[in-house]
């Protein structure tokens, strides 16, 4: 039996002070020490800093991803966490 593998990584930040700076232009501006204003960042990177209150919970997003991969014959074989990365190891049989 032969297998092929597909590795997916998820960024995991379980630090207690995390407040979703990814979509916060003010926090991003502060990280850049004010060199770019929050308004500039929001204007120039609308996809990154859009307000999306209708986004799905991460568990639902992951379920949809795994179901899609399952339809492609991928099977979740293992998960491995290294630092802030969570690796999903998927496999499927090669015909």
pLDDT tens across 13-27, in order?
666 555 455 578 888
Give per-residue pLDDT as tens, 56-85: 888 888 899 999 999 999 999 999 988 878
Output phi, psi for 31, to 5 deg.
-65, -30
The domain tally of the chain equals 1
**Burial of 90 per CB tally in 10 Å (0-12, 13-18, 19+):** buried
Model-wide pTM > 0.85: no
Query: If we measure between CA atoms, which residue out of 10, 9, 2, 7 comes closest to residue 90?
Result: 7
Q: Which domain holds residue 73?
A: 2-94
């Amino acid at each position: 039996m032969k297998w092929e593998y597909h590795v997916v990584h998820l960024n995991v930040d379980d630090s207690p002070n995390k407040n979703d700076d990814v979509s916060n232009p003010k926090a991003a501006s502060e990280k850049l020490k004010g060199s770019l204003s929050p308004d500039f960042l929001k204007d120039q990177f609308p996809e990154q800093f859009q307000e999306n209150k209708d986004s799905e919970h991460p568990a639902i997003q992951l379920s949809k991803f795994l179901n899609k991969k399952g339809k492609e014959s991928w099977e979740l074989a293992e998960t491995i966490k290294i630092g802030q990365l969570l690796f999903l190891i998927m496999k499927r049989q090669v015909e």
